[in-house]
Structure 1
Amino acid sequence: MTDTPTYDIVILGAGSGGYAAALRGAQLGLKVALIEGDKLGGTCLHRGCIPTKALLHSAEVADTAAEAASVGVNLTLDSIDMAGVNKYKDGVVARLYKGLQGLVSSRKVDLINGWGKLVAKDTVEVDGKQYKGKNIILATGSYSKTIPGLEIGGRIMTSEQALALDEIPKSAIVLGGGVIGCEFASVWKSFGADVTIIEGLPNLVPNEDASICKALERAFRKRKINFKTGTMFKSATQDDNSVTVETESGDTFTADLLLVAIGRGPVTKDLGYEEQGISLDRGFVITNERLHTGVGNIYAVGDIVPGLQLAHRGFQQGIFVAEEIAGLAPQVQEESGIPRVTYCEPEIASVGITEAKAKETYGEDQVNVVEYNLAGNGKSQILKTTGFIKLVGVKDGPIVGVHMIGARVGELVGESQLMVNWEAYPEDVAALIHAHPTQDEAMGEAALALAGKPLHSHN
C-alpha cells in the first residue's frame, strides 16, 4: 500500500474557479493538487464562454460584411463556411488551452486527471487513489439543464451540442431567453437562420434592468428575431426532418432544431458532499460569505455556489479562497458588484443594481436615473449602433447601478465596475477625462447629466 500524498490544497474541478485557486495557491507557496476528469479549463474554455464568443465574433464579421455597402465598401457575403468557422473557434480554444497547461505546469501544480470524489473531510479519491488536503476546494462546476421529460438528443440539444454543429440550421427554436439563448439566437440570425425564442418570463434577459429588456426586444424585432415571452413550454416532438414545440397556450412552432437554454445546474450529485456533512440546497453548496462550507477546511467556489453563474465570478472566488487559506484575509466581493455581459447583437453590459431594486432599497424619491442615448456619441455613430447608457444613483450619494446596451458596450464595463464598487459619486466620474472619440465618452456624458450638468443631453 502506497502512502497517501498530502497537499496544502486539494481542488476538485479545474474550471475557472478551480484553476484560479490552484495558480494563486501555488504562487503563495502552497503545495496544490488540481483534479479534473475532463480538460483543464472546464466548461468556460471548452464548451462555454470562449467557443461561444468566437462564434459571436464570426457572426459580427458576417454582419459587417452584409452592411459594408452602407459605409462605402463594396463586397459581397457569399456564404458562411461552417467548417472554417469551427476551425477558427477550435483554434482559439486550443491556443488558450495550451497556454493554461503551460501556466499550471510552470507553477508546479500537480494536475491529476480523473473523476474525483470527496471520501473524507480531508480526502479526495480518484480512480481508487486517495489525496489528502489540509484544505479542500470544491469547484465542480455546472451542466446544461433541461426540462423533466424533455430528452436531449437528435434535433433537441443544449449549448454544448450547438457549439459542435457542422452546418447552419435554416431555422431554430430557442427555449429560454436568457444570456445563452439570446447569444445563440443572435449568432444564428447573423448566419441567416430563422430564429424563434420562447421564454416563460415576461421579458427577454429577465435579470436585467427593465429598460434594457425592452431595448433588446426592440432590437431583436428590428433584426427579425422572433420571440414569445410569458409563454410556457409544454412538449416537443421530433422526426428525421424537424422538431415541433407546443406551448401551454396552444401555439406550435416547427424548426430544424430546438436549443434548450433554460440555465445551468450545479454538478454536485454523487460526489460525496452530503456524506461529509456539507449542506446542499437544490444541489447548490451552501457556504458563508467567505465561501467556507462549515465542514472541516472545505470551501466551495464557482457555479456550485448559489448566485451568478459567471466564469469571472468563479475565477475571483478561486483567488479569494486561495488567499483566505494563505491567511491574507481578502476582501469579500459583493455579488451585485460583479459585472455581467450578454454578447448578443446589440451587446448588454451591467453592474450594480437595477432601477427597480434601487427604489426598493433606498425609496422612490431617493433615486436619480439618467439614460444617455448613444445617438449623441461620435464613436457610436461611426459604429452605426444604437442604444444607451443608464446610470442609477442615490440622491446626494453614489452611483449604484450601470446598465448599457449597444455594440461593444461590454468593453465599458471595467469603468462601470470601478464606479459601483468604489461607490463613486456622479461628480467624481464627470470630472474624469474620457478619450474622444470613444463610446466611453458616453459614460462621462451620463455622469455629467446625473451630476446635474448635462452637456450633450437634456436630462
Structure 2
Amino acid sequence: MPDQEVHVSGDGQPWDVVVLGAGSGGYATALRAAQLGLQVALIEREKLGGTCLHRGCIPTKALLHAAEVADQIQHATDLGLHATFEGVDAGALHRYQQKVVGRLYQGLEGLVSASSVDVFAGDGRLISSDTVQVTAQDGSTQNVTGRHVVLATGSRSRSIADIEIGGRILTSDGALDRRGIPRHAVVLGGGVIGVEFASLWRSLGAKVTVIEALDRLVPAEDPALSSGLARAFRRRGIEVRTSARVASATQDADGVRVVLADGAAVEGDILLVAVGREPVSDEAGLAEQGLTITSAGVRTDEHLHTGVGAIYAVGDLVPGLQLAHRGFAHGIAVAERIAGRDPLPVVEETIPRITYSDPELASVGLTEPAAREQYGDDGVQVVEYSLAGNGKSQILGTTGLVKVVRQTEGPIVGVHLIGARVGEQIGEAQLWVGWEAYPQDIATFIHAHPTQNEALGEAALALAGQPLHSHT
C-alpha cells in the first residue's frame, strides 16, 4: 500500500475549511469561504460542478431549449411563417448540449483556479471529525485536516427494487448520454425529472407515456398546477397514467415492456426510471463518525451543523428540496457562519421551484392544501388569474394561470404559476413570500405592459379586491 501523506495548508496549519464534494453546495461553500479570507481545501472525485452542471440542470435545460425551438418551428404556420421541422440531428444536438456544459465548466474551473482554494482529486472519506482521507486514482492516500468540515456529497438517481438499470432501462444519467430520440419512451415517475424528459422527447417527435404511482403529476406542487400540466400533456399527445403501480419491467433487443399492477401493459423502446433522487449518505464514512443519517439524508440543525464536532452538511445531502440554488444558499450560509458572521438560516418555504416542461411550472411558498392545513380553511384566501387575460401570454400562444395564496387578511404565503416561460417570473413572487408582503402592498406597484410579469400584478390586484382585467 502506498505511503499515506498528511496534508496541511500552506502555512503548516490545518485548513480552516475542508469541503467534501464540489457540486453546487460544495463549490459555493469553498468560493465564499475563500472570499472571506479562509484557507479552503476542496475534495472532488469527478469534475467540479457535480450533478447539476454535468448530469442534471444544465444539460437537461439545454435539451429543453432545443425542444422549445422544435415546437416553435412546428407551429410557425400559425404565425404566418413558412418553416418545417425535418427531424433531429442527434450528434449535433449532443454537441450543442456539451458545448453549453463545457463553457460553464471552463468558467467554474477558472473561478476556482483564481481563488485560493486548494483542490484535491480523489475519493474522500471522513475518518475523524476533522479529517478527510483522499484516495487518488493511483491508490495513494492523503489526509486533509481542517478546523471545520463541510459535507457536500450530493445525490444520485433513486432506483426501484426488481427493476434493473441497464440497456434500455435508464435513469436520467443514461438518458442524457443516449444518442437519438426514442420512438416511444415510457417514463416511470411523474415528478420534475419525469415530466421534463417526457416534455422534451415529445417535442422532438417521440411518443411518450408517463406512469405515476400517486394520483396526480408533480404531486409536490399545488393541485392547480398538477391539473393544468395534465391537461396540457393530453393536448400534446402525452399519455398520462396516474394511480398506476408497476408490477414488472422487462427488456429485450427490441424494446421494453412494463406491466402495471392492474394487469395492463405498456410497451416502448426505452424506459426512463425517474422516481426521484436520494442523498449520497451511505458512503464516505459518515455514519462511522456518529452523524445521524435517515433515508432523507444527514440530519442537521437550522444552521446546517450536524451535531458532531465542527461538521456541517449542505445541499442534497440535507433533507429537503433537492435544488442547485438551495445548495448555493446552503454553502454561502455555512461559509459565512464559519467565518464568524451570523447569516440567517435558509428557509425552505422561500426557495423558488421551477419545472422546465412545456408548459413550465414555477412556485414558491405554501400550496393551497398546505396553507389550509396550517391556517385552517377560514384562514386562507386564494385567487387564480388566468393567463387568457394576459396580452403577452396570448402573443406567445400559452395558457395557464397565476395562483396566489394568502393568510386571511394577512400576508401572501404562496405563489404558483403555470404557462410558457413563467419560470422567469418567480423572482418577484419569491420577494412577496420572503418579505411577507400583503396584496395591498403589491397593488401599488406598476407592472410593465405587455409582459407576463403583468399577470402577477393582476393576481395581486384581484386578491386585494381591486381587479382590473378579471372578475372578483
TM range, smaller chain:
over 0.9
Alignment partner, residue 24 of structure 2: 16
Question: Deviation at 1:417?
Answer: 0.5
Alignment partner, residue 251 of structure 1: 264
Q: SS state of the match for residue 152, structure 1?
A: coil
Question: Deviation at 1:185?
Answer: 0.1
Question: Deviation at 1:432?
Answer: 0.6
| Conserved 8 A contact 1:349-1:404 | yes
**Count of residues in Structure 1 that have an aligned counterpart in Structure 2:** 459
1:248 and 1:313 map into 2 onto residues whose CA distance is 37
Matches within 5 A, 1:68-217: 68-127=76-135, 128-217=141-230
Q: Is structure 2 residue 7 aligned with structure 1 residue 4?
A: yes
| Conserved 8 A contact 1:340-1:351 | yes
Question: Deviation at 1:270?
Answer: 3.1
Q: Deviations over 1:337-366 (max 9, x none)?
A: 110000000000000001111111112112
1:249 and 1:258 map into 2 onto residues whose CA distance is 19
2:378 and 2:195 map into 1 onto residues whose CA distance is 34
Q: Is structure 2 residue 320 aligned with structure 1 residue 307?
A: yes
Matches within 5 A, 1:262-411: 262-282=275-295, 284-411=297-424
Question: Deviation at 1:3?
Answer: 4.6
Q: Is structure 2 residue 457 aligned with structure 1 residue 444?
A: yes
2:63 and 2:142 map into 1 onto residues whose CA distance is 40
Q: Deviations over 1:379-399 (max 9, x none)?
A: 001100000000001122111
Alignment partner, residue 41 of structure 2: 33
Question: Deviation at 1:19?
Answer: 0.3
1:436 and 1:112 map into 2 onto residues whose CA distance is 51
Q: Deviations over 1:51-81 (max 9, x none)?
A: 0000000000000000001011111111111
Q: SS state of the match for residue 163, structure 1?
A: helix
1:197 and 1:390 map into 2 onto residues whose CA distance is 26
Q: SS state of the match for residue 177, structure 2?
A: coil
1:443 and 1:297 map into 2 onto residues whose CA distance is 44
1:444 and 1:210 map into 2 onto residues whose CA distance is 22
| Conserved 8 A contact 1:399-1:420 | yes
**Which piece of structure 1 moves more, 23-32 or 106-115?**
106-115
Normalization by structure 1: what TM-score?
Answer: 0.99
Alignment partner, residue 56 of structure 1: 64
Question: Deviation at 1:333?
Answer: 2.1
1:458 and 1:255 map into 2 onto residues whose CA distance is 46
In percent, how many aligned pairs have the same letter? Answer: 59
Q: SS state of the match for residue 416, structure 1?
A: helix
Match of 2:251 among 238, 244, 252: 238
Question: Deviation at 1:148?
Answer: 1.1
Normalization by structure 2: what TM-score?
Answer: 0.96
C-alpha RMSD of matched pairs (Å): 0.9
Long gaps (5+) in structure 1: none
| Conserved 8 A contact 2:5-2:143 | no
Residues 276, 373 of structure 1: CA spacing in aligned structure 2 closer, same or farther, 3 A cutoff? same
| Conserved 8 A contact 2:17-2:40 | yes
Q: SS state of the match for residue 397, structure 1?
A: coil
Alignment partner, residue 260 of structure 1: 273
1:206 and 1:3 map into 2 onto residues whose CA distance is 48
Question: Deviation at 1:271?
Answer: 1.1
| Conserved 8 A contact 2:29-2:332 | yes
Matched AA of 2:157: S
Long gaps (5+) in structure 2: 9-13, 136-140
1:266 and 1:129 map into 2 onto residues whose CA distance is 25
1:175 and 1:13 map into 2 onto residues whose CA distance is 29
| Conserved 8 A contact 2:402-2:459 | yes
